[in-house]
Amino acid sequence: MNTIRILDKSVAERIAAGEVVERPASVVKELIENSIDAQAHAVSVEIREGGVSLIRVSDNGIGMSRADAALALERFATSKIVAAEDLSAIRTLGFRGEALPSIANVAQLEILTRTGGEIEGTRVRVVNGQAEVQVAGAPIGAQVVVRDLFYNAPARRKFQKSPLRETELIQKTLMTYALAYPRIAFRFVVDGREAVNLAPSQELERIGAVWGRQVAAEMVEVSYTSVDLHVHGFVSRPTLARASREWQTFFVNNRPVRSGLLTMMLERPYAGRLPPGRHPLAVIWIDVDPHLLDVNVHPRKAEVRFYQERAIYGAVTQATAQALHDFPQTIQSGQMDWSFANAASEGPMALALHESVADYGAGPWRAVGQIHNTYILAQSMDGLAIVDQHAAQEQIFYEQLTSASPGSSILGGDQPPPISSQIQLMPQEAELVNEHLEEYRSLGIEIEPFGENTFRLMAIPVFIPVDGLELITALVQEHERYRTLEGDELRDKLAAKAACISAIKAGDVLTPVQQQALLDALGQAYSPATCPHGRPVFVMLRLEELERRFLRR
Ligand SMILES: Nc1ncnc2c1ncn2[C@@H]1O[C@H](COP(=O)(O)OP(=O)(O)O)[C@@H](O)[C@H]1O
Ligand SMILES: [Mg+2]
């Protein structure tokens, strides 16, 4: 008996729709792309309840004629390509003619539009799978309204995250396009409240509007041109870095793309300029001849394939390397082998304190004492190190937590976990934690769902001195702050938080033995010079400096 059958058209379409429309943010992405393709100068996105009850995207682009508006809802209806050859020369963001019909498949869709050449506009509504076209008053441009997303796909609906998180994802999407297209005005209205309003601007100005003015001030321009390739944009000075790669955006022919390789090529010139685990920020536009590009490799068009990869990746590295030329390489990776050849170039006011990655490696440090219950003085081979005890232990813990195997340690050893290890969370927190148990586990923290919004703490790393429940409570709070993160980026934030609350504090008295133990542990650290937040762990006062200041030479 035959078991393979061709799917019903409606079922097949529903499946295809699922590939394009994964969640509210993917609807917003497609609609913004359509507005940009329609040459809009202003795009406004309005949502309600995380986009599930309403998404409205309005633009002042070229709009659609009545006939086109009706056609736009047909599958594979597109004004952007005609023949298969056109696929290799795509300049627009859309080309598949799939977005609008896919959205119409899983939501109530309505288009209101008018072209410059028409007096009357058009309203198109999809009712029971049939497009209903009416004459209607409308400004030039298009407005697409999507209501009741996934009303007919309960499974999809169930998988949506909380409205707050969906809203954040939508805002992230919008901000990405705002970075890519600084000359377009963007507005974002959430449940009737304006959350974002960006005027048309220059590139760097837009970066400032999206990421903050201080960030923009720390960015340097990059640029590289060859025959059929142009790379330009902005990367952060080594003084500015983040623990995650969330702030790295690449646009290939103005299309936002994700690519581990591009990231790698961007970060290469930062070697020796950023401590391990720190990542530069970047906004980079790569413009290539569309023939060198295959944009048709990903259902949501988030990835592209280059035909001349080497040239393109090389250009990114080269452009960045040029921009960083003036910033010295002061960090050598590898442990304990840092010679900090800093000629005495301080001005008169510069205290002889190098808050930097000095040659920590020149042999073990001997604890001399503690001052103000906050700093440990240590004799090094060639001078004196002043160590911030909190930052030092924070970094040590952080590295232990993020190491490949944090050496998780079962609460109570081989015994069953104590009953007192249950924790009750708010529904929203519970949902968040539930989705990311893996990231917690990677830090050696085992939590198990245990009834409604309740979890059981099974294990925490041995070296964490704080109470398990206190630890989890603090981590969940931190997690809420970074609720859009996942994977390594989330793990990083959680590890930094766990390290921070576990570390000795400024003001804690340490015995000489404890002081020395801390210095010894720091000596084993991979990146002893900075704490997880990027602050220095110690400053050096060199013998040379002392000699100079005491006029011995
Ligand atoms: N905001 C808009 N302004 C003008 N035309 C639009 C707009 N949105 C969609 N269209 C028209 O509808 C067609 C179908 O859109 P879509 O389903 O997203 O497919 P694609 O973008 O791949 O062509 C587009 O090719 C375009 O002609
Ligand atoms: Mg489109």
SS3 per residue for 421-436: HEEECCHHHHHHHHHC
Mutate which of 28, 37, 93, 109 to test ligand 1's pocket (most atoms within 8 Å of Cβ)?
A: 37
Amino acid of residue 550 = F
Token duo for residue 414: 């081989």
Query: What does the pLDDT read at residue 370?
Result: 96
Cα separation, 342 vs 15, in Å, equals: 62
Spatial contact of 185 and 42, defined as CB atoms under 8 Å apart? yes
Residue 368: in which H helix or E strand, if any?
Answer: strand 366-371
CA of 100 to the centre of ligand 2 (A): 7
Residue nearest to atom 1 of ligand 1 (CA): 35
Q: Which ranges of 416-486 does DSSP label H, i.e. alpha helix?
A: 427-435, 437-442, 468-481
Q: Ligand 1 test: best mutation among 56, 78, 91, 118, most atoms within 8 Å of CB?
A: 78
Residue whose CA is at the smallest distance from ligand 1 atom 20: 97
Residues β-bridged to residue 459: 410, 446
**Which ligand does the CA of 29 lie closest to?**
2
* Residues in the ligand 1 pocket, defined by CB under 6 Å: 30, 34-35, 37-38, 59, 61-64, 72, 77-80, 94-100, 142
Show the low-confidence residues of the chain (pLDDT under 70): 1-19, 75-77, 80-82, 84-85, 87-89, 159, 296-304, 308, 331-363, 404-420
Q: How far is CA 228 from CA 56, 144, 231, 259, 305, in A?
A: 38, 37, 10, 21, 16
CA 208 – ligand 2 centroid, Å: 28
Ligand number nearest to the C-alpha of 36: 1
Report which ligand 1 atom has the smallest distance to the Cα of 35.
Answer: 1
Strands 193-198 and 383-388: unpaired
Atom 21 in ligand 1: residue holding the nearest Cα: 94
Cβ neighbours for 437, distance < 8 A, ≥ 6 positions apart: 447, 449
Q: Kindly give the distance from the C-alpha atom of residue 299 to the centroid of ligand 2, in angstroms, as a whole number.
A: 12
Which ligand approaches the C-alpha of residue 65 most closely?
A: 1
Distance from the alpha carbon of residue 80 to the mean position of ligand 2, in angstroms: 9
The closest ligand to the CA of 81 turns out to be 1
CA–CA separation, 539 and 545 (whole Å): 13
Q: What pLDDT does 303 receive? A: 65
Residue nearest to atom 4 of ligand 1 (CA): 63
Q: From the centroid of its chain, how far is CA 63?
A: 33
Nearest CA to ligand 1 atom 25: 78
**Tens-place pLDDT, residues 330-383:** 764 333 222 222 222 222 222 222 223 333 464 689 999 999 999 999 998 888
Nearest-angstrom CA–CA distance, 278 and 282: 13
Task: Tell me which DSSP letter residue 382 carries.
Answer: T
Instruction: Output the CA 138–ligand 1 centroid distance in Å.
Output: 17
What's the pLDDT at 159? 66
Distance (Å, whole) CA 336 – CA 146: 58
Q: Which atom of ligand 1 is nearest to the CA of 34?
A: 8
**Torsion over CA of 513, 517, 523 and 524, rounded to 10 degrees?**
160
Q: What pLDDT sits at residue 336?
A: 28
Q: Which ligand has its closest atom nearest to the C-alpha of 67?
A: 1
Ligand 1 atom closest to Cα of residue 95:
22
